[in-house]
């Protein structure tokens, strides 16, 4: 586990979410946004087969993620958190799945491909971590378990979307990553941060450290998720 750098400027900035957003971008720039898979994708050097592998795993991830959000909604501490996690579930099923399917068709993924595929160990470990957190921890900790996925994708989408259009000739209407710039996602993200903020406002220093542990675990799983798609031949 890394040093929890978010505590460095606690005296200057007491808002946990503000400090987290500052820290997360710093950590992701150093450790996540420079994964070999992503760098090759940004430059148009990534083989289509590797991106296809990623898409299949994202399909398995979303199925397991949706179940975790259902659990988080069921165990939410108040109505606002319940509605927030229910929105994550709805968005996953009604928006992300259809958009992902459109993109998969451009990479020769068929229903039979999905039926014959399985979740890789990195996908299982990541989603088990999220599900276990949603089952056994607070709503704020549930947010922290999905923070790396939700908010790093918002940043990555700004680079992945143009790369898919430029180098892989994918029309914008097929690109699922364009979703993360849309109003519905921005509203959901804001509500997600509000759930975290409400929990953090009552958190002790020890609880904040526990929140941050979830953030670092989620970030490490996110790194492994990208790396597993890069192919064992490298």
Q: pLDDT tens digit string along 100-142?
A: 999 999 999 999 999 999 999 999 999 999 999 999 999 999 9
Place of tokens 């959000």: 69
Domains of the chain: which residue ranges?
Answer: 43-228
Taking a C-beta distance cutoff of 8 angstroms, is the pair 69, 96 a contact? no
Q: With bands split at pLDDT 50, 70 and 90, how would you rate the model's confidence at 171? A: very high
The gap from C-alpha 174 to its chain's centroid, in whole angstroms, comes to: 20
43-228: CATH class: mainly alpha
| 76-82 contact pairs (CB < 8 A, 24+) | 76/139, 77/138, 77/139, 77/199, 78/139, 78/198, 80/191, 80/194, 80/195, 80/198, 81/139, 81/195, 81/198
Axis crossing angle, helix 205-228 with helix 183-200, rounded to the nearest 10: 140
- What number is the average pLDDT over the span 34-60? 97
Confidence of residue 15 (pLDDT cuts 50, 70, 90): very high
At residue 67, the 3 state secondary structure works out as: helix
Written as six digits, the tokens of 174 are: 């097929």
SS3 state of residue 71: helix
Q: Averaged over 69-77, what is the pLDDT?
A: 98
Res 62: pLDDT: 97
Q: Token pair of 106, please? A: 């451009």
Length of the chain equals 234
CA–CA dist 69, 76 (Å, integer): 10
- What gap in Å lies between CA 228 and CA 62, rounded to an integer? 16
Whether this prediction's pTM lies above 0.85 is answered by yes
The whole-number average pLDDT for the span 158-163 is: 94
Other CB atoms within a 10 A radius of the CB of residue 86 amount to: 16
| 17 token code pair | 């979410």
CA 156, CA 150: separation in Å to the nearest integer?
10
Answer yes or no: are the C-beta atoms of 83 and 144 closer than 8 Å.
no
Cα gap 36→43, rounded to integer Å: 11
């Amino acid at each position: 586990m890394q040093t929890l750098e978010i505590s460095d400027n606690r005296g200057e900035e007491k808002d946990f979410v503000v400090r987290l957003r500052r820290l997360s971008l710093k950590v992701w720039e150093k450790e996540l946004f420079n994964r070999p898979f992503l760098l090759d994708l940004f430059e148009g050097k990534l083989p289509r087969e590797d991106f296809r592998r990623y898409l299949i795993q994202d399909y398995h991830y979303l199925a397991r993620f949706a179940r975790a959000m259902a659990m988080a909604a069921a165990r939410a501490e108040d109505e606002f958190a319940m509605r927030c996690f229910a929105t994550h579930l709805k968005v996953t099923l009604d928006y992300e799945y259809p958009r992902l399917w459109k993109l998969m068709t451009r990479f020769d993924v068929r229903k039979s491909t999905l039926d014959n595929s399985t979740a890789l160990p990195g996908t299982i470990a990541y989603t088990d971590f999220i599900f276990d957190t949603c089952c056994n921890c607070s709503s704020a900790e549930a947010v922290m378990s999905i923070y790396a996925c939700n908010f790093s994708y918002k940043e990555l989408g700004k680079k992945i979307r143009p790369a898919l259009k430029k180098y892989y000739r994918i029309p914008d209407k097929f690109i699922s990553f364009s979703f993360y710039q849309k109003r519905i996602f921005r509203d959901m993200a804001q509500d997600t941060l509000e759930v975290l903020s409400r929990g953090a406002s009552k958190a002790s220093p020890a609880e904040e450290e526990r929140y941050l542990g979830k953030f670092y675990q989620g970030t490490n799983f996110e790194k492994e998720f990208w790396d597993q798609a890069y192919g064992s031949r490298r």
